[in-house]
Structure 1
């Protein structure tokens, strides 16, 4: 159920039958030859498809996240951890006040993952609520299929290159980029990160067949749906 196509009367009726809600978390940042909004696009699309299958309410996604390492690339929006934690806490509280008790966060950006600590702090104040933070791209079944296709796959590589994250008229390089040293990246300021990673791909080919990508997407969708239905503590 798309919240943007719902009025409050309809939502009130929904909450009498179900207390689950989906909220996508994304980021706006460099993704090499792919859309700046790749993380937001993927999390939002997955939320919409899974929500439709499960008939669960879906809120608009957060397009911005924590991405300090990409600040030297034009287009990147970076929220400070305190800002992001407060924003998410306010959203969780608002959802709780509306009547939701099982909140499913589909996260499309690894840089947002540290917010798990803030989620626990929020849960300590709302013990009857449950929150799942689902990093869809690194979930076991999805990641296993990615690794089946290629071990060298990371940020802005083929594993994020779906038909809906591509830029029309843009043809990515055909070669395979060697894997970068991610541990080294954590030591560098944004200017040095850009110098080290160049176009933004962390390693891997830039594109695979649409058949391979559709298989990954179907696996991610099914894995997400299972957690939405059965993953509550």
Structure 2
């Protein structure tokens, strides 16, 4: 259930019997021909669908992340690492103050990984809390399904092309784009990154059949739900 569909009285009642919460983390950045909000859309949707039968509240997605390498693509917004770490810490402080003790971050953007370090540092002063950080797209079972379908998969390629991340009346190239030199990409700034990547796809086909995408999505929901249900031993 979404926190946005609850009032504070309902949240207070929930906390008398459960202390779990889910916080989706996304980004606003270029994804070639897909929505600039791909990471945010997917993180929130997988969190909501995974939590729905369990009755665990899902907070609104944090729609801005750390993405300095896409700074030259219009529409991309990047937070500084220290800013992001403070946001994660503030979120955790707020949740803990009102009684949440088990927090699952469902992350949809690889650049947000410094937030996990901030969360671990926060835990040192909150021994009664538990935090899980879940990169849903790269989790073992979900990534295994991706690799079984097509091992050439990357940022802004087919593996992020779901019906809910596509834009209306925007066609996709039919060819398989060669993989970018990711090691070289890490050595250049945002201007160089745009020159190397062009449309923004790191490599791979731009779209695959929807039945394949549905199989990946079902695996992502099941894998995320398993984390919400299990493994919270203190």
Shorter-normalised TM range: over 0.9
Normalised to the residue count of structure 1, the TM-score between the two structures is 0.99
Matches of 1:15 and 1:168, distance apart in 2: 41
Confirm whether residue 77 of structure 1 aligns to residue 77 of structure 2.
Answer: yes
Counterpart residue number, 2:213: 213
How many Å apart are 1:166 and its aligned residue?
A: 0.1
Partner of 2:137: 137
In structure 2, distance between residues paired with 1:193 and 1:38: 19
**Contact (CA 8 Å) 2:51, 2:228: kept in 1 or not?**
no
1:224 corresponds to 2:224: yes
Mapped to 2, the partners of 1:29 and 1:171 lie a distance apart of 19
Partner residue of 1:18?
18
Report what 2:32 is aligned to.
32
Q: How does 1:84-163 map to 2 (within 5 A)?
A: 84-163=84-163
CA deviation after TM superposition for structure 1 residue 218, in Å = 0.2
* Contact 2:28–2:77 (CA under 8 A) maintained in structure 1: yes
SS of match in other structure, 1:105 = strand
Other-structure match for 1:67: 67
Q: CA RMSD in A?
A: 0.7
How far apart are the structure 1 equivalents of 2:228 and 2:182?
Answer: 31
Structure 1 unmatched ranges of 5 or more: none
Q: Give deviations 1:59-79, integer Å, cap 9, x for gaps.
A: 001000000000000000000
Following superposition, the deviation at residue 50 of structure 1 comes to 1.3
Q: Give the Å deviation of 1:231.
A: 2.8
Distance 2:154 2:170 in 1: 20
What number of residue pairs does the alignment pair up? Answer: 233
Query: In structure 2, how many angstroms separate the alpha carbons of the residues matched to 1:115 and 1:2?
Result: 22
Deviation at 1:184, TM superposition (A): 1.1
> SS of 2:113's equivalent?
helix
1:174 match = 174
Deviating runs (4+, > 6 A) in structure 1? none
Distance, in Å, in 2 between the alignment partners of 1:78 and 1:231 is 33
